[in-house]
Structure 1
Amino acid sequence: MSSPEPLRTRSGGTTRLLGNELATLFRRSRTWAMLGALALIPILLGVALRIAGGTSAGRGPAFLDQITNNGLFVGVAATTVAIPLFLPLTISVTAGDAIAGEASHGTLRYLLIAPAGRVRLLLVKYLAAAAFCLAASLTLVIAGTVVGWALFPIGPVTLVSGTEVSVGEGLLRFLGIAAYVTVSLLGLSAIGLFLSTLTTVPVGAMAATAILAVASQIAGAIPQLSALHPFLFTDRWLDFADLLRAPVVWDSFVGNAGLQAAYIAVFGAAAVLRFTTRDVLS
């Protein structure tokens, strides 16, 4: 009859450890610098379009030509701009530093002395990286909405299917896009966490994660590798436009979630295997 108490202790310990990890992550000036850099994307985009007076239809990133008619599209266009490079870079820094950063500072073994356990520590580190994914995605959408509201007319949102919806529903759909992008980045976070267990040099894990993100997108752009495309973790990153249809088409969201879940399972298991068998000396 004594087993529930240890279970509650473990659960409470995980919650406290996660709280401490999130507090540490969002107290770092580096974290806020990266979020600030992401917020600059919609700001620069909105200011440039305001000065230039818009762009021709079909030119530039998706939704760019919609901004001058409805400023709510600034956040979506900024997200389209940030997905190929800027978002992966920030995620690579956060996930790549998760374990390697602790090892390089000599704090990893002290974390493991506490009754946390290696698997639980990995889980907490991954959840913190996932929280940053959400913060990064919301930063783009929210900053874009604020900038668009300040610089351009605001009105009913015309969806890609031609249907108009209210401002409120449009904002909800844009938050759905932030959720889609967050899910898209979870596979990359798992890859970064695994690479972080392989080294005590965080820069190496960060660089390798970012390079893999770029390489996956390059492979996805080569027609001769079309058979490989459905298995690339970046394959569905830009399919969030289906959330701007009437009715919403959920196939892309579900397919993307399944793809990212597969990467989380594979690289999460690899991270656990590596970390639980690794000699921690620092």
Structure 2
Amino acid sequence: MRAVQADEVHTARQPLLLALLASELTLLFRRRRTWAMLVALAAVPMLIAVAVRVTAVEPPPGRGPPFLDSITSNGLFVAVTALVVCIPLFLPLTVGVVAGDSIAGESQSGTLRYLLIAPAGRARLLVVKYAVVAVFCACATLTIALAGTLIGLALFPVGPVTLLSGDTIEIGESLIRLLLITSYITISLLGFAAIGLFVSTLTDVPVGAMAATVVLSIVSQVLDNLPQLEWLHPWLFTHYWLGFSDLLRQPIEWSSLASNALLQLGYLAVFGALAFGRFTTRDVLT
């Protein structure tokens, strides 16, 4: 009898969980702040493309961001260049804002206590909050890639792409490679999102959680550039953020993607557990 009742409760909670996820996604994309951040990200490839287009001097090889000197010969490189530019700061900044606000923002506004009344429970609410941040990671990365591709098509010639290995691939396969790069970067941000979610459970001040999350990404990148700490580099969540160059070779080298995914999974497990422990024992009703 108890087993049947447990199954009924589990079945009833599933649509509630999906409804909560849909509600949180709707809330995220109704905010002007979310669209402002996406527009700002889309502006990066546009600024790069316009600057290269209106400048009479072609960027010298090796100067500026990677692939910048390839834009004039093939507009598809606008998206790749913009992604390289956005990874160190702009993407962590926007993801840090969303992740840092996920729990702390609800707590500050007083809506967290009402969310916990729902049968979903604290653990499921935490999972939904993380899923929303993960969706934003994908949307932010796709926004840059899409804006870069469109402005590249509009301002520059587009044709077969020469890879880092010297091989040439057609436009269709080039777009598939760009989608793989976008997926790689999204995966790269998942561990960082888990860190931001954990930080958000520690405070009722969303601005503080946002700032702390972004600062952690900067600290990790600084440490990753210190040769004295080379032993630590493979354990830093930012270590593989720019490792997608292996996806621009023929054949594709998957080792960086696998190492990156494993590292991010580790950060997700550790900081997800910390967030769970903090959130499930936290008094949010006072």
TM-score, normalised via structure 2 length: 0.97
Say which of 214, 217, 223 aligns to 1:213.
217
- Partner Cα separation in structure 1 for residue 44 and residue 153 of structure 2: 15
Amino acid at match of 1:140: I
**1:99 partner SS:** helix
Say which of 81, 84, 93 aligns to 1:80.
84
1:126 maps to which residue? 130
1:13 to partner: Cα distance: 1.4
1:182 maps to which residue? 186
1:150 maps to which residue? 154
- Partner Cα separation in structure 2 for residue 89 and residue 49 of structure 1: 25
Amino acid at match of 1:51: V
- Partner Cα separation in structure 1 for residue 40 and residue 89 of structure 2: 13
Amino acid at match of 1:23: T
2:36 maps to which residue? 33
Amino acid at match of 1:241: S
- Partner Cα separation in structure 1 for residue 169 and residue 177 of structure 2: 10
Amino acid at match of 2:168: E
1:261 maps to which residue? 265
TM-score, normalised via structure 1 length: 0.98
Alpha-carbon RMSD:
0.9
Amino acid at match of 1:98: S
- 1:5 matched to 2:3? The reply is no
2:59 maps to which residue? 55
Alignment deviations for residues 141-170 of structure 1 (CA, whole Å, 9 cap, x no partner): 100000000000000111111111110100
1:22 maps to which residue? 25
**1:98 partner SS:** helix
Say which of 208, 211, 220 aligns to 1:204.
208
**Which ranges in structure 1 are unaligned for 5 or more consecutive residues?**
none
1:5 to partner: Cα distance: 2.4
**1:141 partner SS:** helix
1:9 to partner: Cα distance: 1.4
Amino acid at match of 2:243: D
**Which ranges in structure 2 are unaligned for 5 or more consecutive residues?**
none
1:8 to partner: Cα distance: 1.7
User: How many residues are paired up?
Assistant: 282
- Partner Cα separation in structure 1 for residue 153 and residue 70 of structure 2: 13
- Partner Cα separation in structure 2 for residue 246 and residue 74 of structure 1: 21
1:6 to partner: Cα distance: 1.9
1:33 to partner: Cα distance: 0.3
Amino acid at match of 2:48: L
1:110 maps to which residue? 114
Amino acid at match of 1:274: R
1:4 to partner: Cα distance: 3.1
**2:99 partner SS:** helix
- Partner Cα separation in structure 2 for residue 47 and residue 8 of structure 1: 53
**1:97 partner SS:** helix
1:111 to partner: Cα distance: 0.4
Deviates more, 1:49-58 or 1:131-140: 49-58
- Partner Cα separation in structure 2 for residue 14 and residue 250 of structure 1: 35
- Partner Cα separation in structure 1 for residue 285 and residue 196 of structure 2: 21
